[in-house]
Amino acid sequence: MTALPGTLAPGTPAAFAALLRAREPLVGYWSVLDSPVSTERIARLGYDYVALDAQHGLIDHAGVLASLTAIDTKGSTAVGLVRVEANDPSPIGKALDAGAAGVIVPLIDSAQDAADAVAAVRYPPLGRRSYGPMRAALRIGPDPADAHRETVVLAMIETAEGLAHVEEICATEGLDGVYVGPSDLRIAIGGTTSRDPAVAAEFEAALVTVRTAAGAAGIAAGIHTGDGAAAAKRLAEGFTFATVACDLVHLEQVASGHLAAAKASGEAR
What's the half-sphere exposure (Cβ side, CA atoms, 13 Å) at 202? 14
Nearest to 189 by CA among 150, 159, 210: 159
Q: What sign results for the dihedral spanned by CA atoms 48, 155, 57, 63?
A: positive
Question: What residues have CB less than 8 Å from 63, skipping those under 6 apart?
Answer: 34, 36, 52
Q: What sign results for the dihedral spanned by CA atoms 92, 105, 85, 52?
A: negative
Residue from 56, 165, 224, 250 carrying the catalytic annotation: 56
Single-letter residue type at 21: R
Query: Is 56 tagged catalytic?
Result: yes
User: Pairing mode, if any, of strands 177-180 and 49-53?
Assistant: unpaired
Q: Which residues are catalytic?
A: 56
